[in-house]
A and B are shown apart, each in its own frame.
Chain A
């Protein structure tokens, strides 16, 4: 019975220590996020993706020698449709 009381005492100490350490550790992590990470986010913001208007202009400038992605997509789509149609016809046969 005495040893059980000792075990309870040990479990109690473990519980208090454990909860304090878990809270302390995760609170430090909050501090880390709100200070270090927040400062880093301000100093190194994500690069902004090019706007759609700009890319549209680029699409229109296909004559510059590069094939516009829009044209590539259109050609790929046509080829896919042709292949699908072709394979369906073959399978019907």
Chain B
């Protein structure tokens, strides 16, 4: 009888706590979004599964010595995984559209307004009982507005590791929801005539420009914002590997095998932070709400900036491409293209929107560097 009792006590059924069950359901919810709705499946699937694993009673996945604790401490706490992903993203990014139309960098800058305005929102939420965000917490939450997963995770691990799970879930969920969140804002802030604007064809960009560009960006970051060099540096390394054309094998590894392996581990590691005590609280609701606000303000700021630029520019600029200033590459650019096509079936904005889109990646990395330098 004693042995039977011991066996019962070692089962999951005897040890389940309500919080764990709820978090497993949250994990299953993420799996559903990834598999059935195809929302950022590359990250939400391992993240959802990580959430399930970490909440298994008696298994100790996230306790000291557990597999997920090693993954978290080794790859996420150290900042290694987000940086490797950033290198892979750099290797996948073509800056041609940006170099051909450098003014679009201003759209990438404008879209970062979402990040900094959300800081206010996070501080204002302190008025709600049960919520107490410090400026570091607020900064880590605000970066969700940059719509850049690796940047959000990198900053959250540095400034507010206890909020990492909620911030990562919010960041990736909203990135997946770009096609739903952005179009209504874009339509509300532009007229049909503006959405119909066709843009001039981009000039061809030479190889030397593409090779020197990442080096120039790195040099500027070293001079003016060294706090952003981990992110920008790895991004530029990946991009240089791509554009130099002499290390195709490394470039291919960075944008395929390496980024894939890292994505699996990053997802599992972030999922391991989805424990009941860290996730099931009012602060998580606040973070989810603030993320949506940050994202919407970023989109709106980009569109408004593009409208202003269109007023003063000699060549026409379709304001829709401003929405691509939030990074979310290439989803935001595709959304701009789609909304443009709805207004004018002959208007292909994809390449034009890629400029602000990659500018947004740089912009959010710079914003993260500023927050690290001033708050970290």
Q: Determine the distance from Cα of A40 to Cα of B213 in the docked complex, in whole angstroms.
A: 11
Query: Quick check: A22 and B209 within 8 Å, CB to CB?
Result: no
Given A22-B112, A33-B102, the answer on whether A11 and B371 have CB atoms closer than 8 Å is: no
A18 contacts the other chain (CB 8 A): yes
B3 contacts the other chain (CB 8 A): no
Residue of B135, B207, B216 near A10 (CB, 8 A) is B135
A4 contacts the other chain (CB 8 A): yes
Please name all residues of chain B whose beta carbon is closer than 8 Å to the beta carbon of A18 when the two chains form the complex: 112, 115-116, 367, 370-371, 374
- We find that the number of chain A residues with CB closer than 8 angstroms to chain B is 30
- We find that the number of chain B residues with CB closer than 8 angstroms to chain A is 45
Query: Quick check: B119 and A36 within 8 Å, CB to CB?
Result: no
Residue of B106, B119, B206, B217 near A45 (CB, 8 A) is B206
Query: Quick check: A44 and B217 within 8 Å, CB to CB?
Result: no
B85 contacts the other chain (CB 8 A): no
Query: Quick check: B120 and A37 within 8 Å, CB to CB?
Result: no
Query: Quick check: A19 and B120 within 8 Å, CB to CB?
Result: no
Query: Quick check: B366 and A7 within 8 Å, CB to CB?
Result: no
Which A-chain residue is minimally distant from B121 (CB atoms)? A11
Query: Quick check: B220 and A25 within 8 Å, CB to CB?
Result: yes
Query: Quick check: A29 and B217 within 8 Å, CB to CB?
Result: yes
A-B contact pairs, 27 of them (CB 8 A): A7-B123, A7-B135, A8-B123, A10-B135, A12-B120, A15-B117, A15-B120, A18-B374, A19-B116, A21-B370, A22-B112, A22-B363, A23-B109, A25-B225, A26-B108, A26-B359, A27-B105, A27-B109, A29-B220, A30-B102, A30-B103, A37-B213, A41-B208, A44-B206, A44-B208, A46-B207, A46-B208
